[in-house]
Amino acid sequence: MSRSVFLIGAGPGDPELMTLKAARALGKADVVLIDDLVSRGCLAHARSDAKVIEVGKRGGCKATPQEFIERLMVQYARQGKIVARLKGGDPFIFGRGGEELAALRAAGIDVEVIPGITAGIGAPATLGIPVTHRDVARGVIFVTGHTKDGTEPDWPALARTGLTLVIYMGITRLPEITAALLQSGMSADTLACAIENGTLRNQRHVIAPLALLPRSAAALSSPAIIVVGDVVRFARMAAAQPHAKAA
């Protein structure tokens, strides 16, 4: 097997949150396949002669087909190139990294996975929100608000857990998601937060009771993370931080 592909998590947005291991791997690459949501500041760690290929997948926009991305990685790896697949957040948290790993292994390509800080942890942390807290939240659930086949998560089951909910790719469906949680028995007063462009200088956020969140967050857009649960109250402690700005 040829050892030639790195699946790299670039972190939640701020290039300085990319890991040292990710930066070193990126510096070895002949070819870099970069997602749309990855900050271009991360490319400072790439070689000046590296071939950079945009393979964006921003919600609501035309996306590069997943199968095409996988074929490109296999093609360059078989040419003897070192390939860096640079993905936002963590490759295995709603990043299709598992699909890409399977495709590369099936083609006989050796792969190293380099984890990254996922937005569901990094973005709330900028506001002082701990997604778990032993006094108020004994666990956290990461869930997507957008699925490939259009099916809905089991909102009633999620609402009953009493755990923090961190919802990815849900900002455009926020009214439907909120209604589903309320109909599932979650209190209308449950604190919730929507965070746009987490960890970046243009980060914006709103905090509101769950029932009012769709109206409060109407000006926010993708990419965004939604946090639902009592842990959101800790955001008030972060009011003096640079990124803690309400929309």
Report pLDDT digits (tens) over 53-86.
999 765 555 678 999 999 999 999 999 999 999 9
Set 18, 57, 73, 186: catalytic member: 57
Strand 140-144 to strand 51-54: parallel, antiparallel, or no bridges (unpaired)?
unpaired
Across the chain, what does the average pLDDT equal? Answer: 92
Q: Which residues of the chain have pLDDT under 70?
A: 1-3, 57-62, 236-247
- DSSP codes of every residue in 109-171: EEEEEE----HHHHHHHHTT--S-BTTTBS-EEEEES--TT-PPP-HHHHHHH-SEEEEES-G
> Which CATH code is given to the segment(s) 119-238?
3.30.950.10
pLDDT reported for residue 243:
40
- Considering 30, 35, 73, 186, which one is annotated as catalytic? 35
Active site residue 18: no
Domains 2-114 and 119-238 share a fold: no
Q: Is 169 a catalytic residue?
A: yes
CATH architecture for the domain at 2-114:
3-Layer(aba) Sandwich (3.40)
- For residue 58, the model assigns a pLDDT of 58
pLDDT at 48: 97
Residue 72: is it exposed, middle or buried by C-beta count within 10 angstroms (0-12/13-18/19+)?
Answer: middle
Strands (E), 10-80: 31-34, 51-54
Spatial CB neighbours of 240, under 8 Å, sequence gap ≥ 6:
none
The structural domains of the chain, with segments of one domain joined by +, span: 2-114, 119-238
Q: Is 51 a catalytic residue?
A: no
Please give the pLDDT value at position 59: 55
Instruction: Give the Cα separation of 130 and 232 in Å (integer).
Output: 8
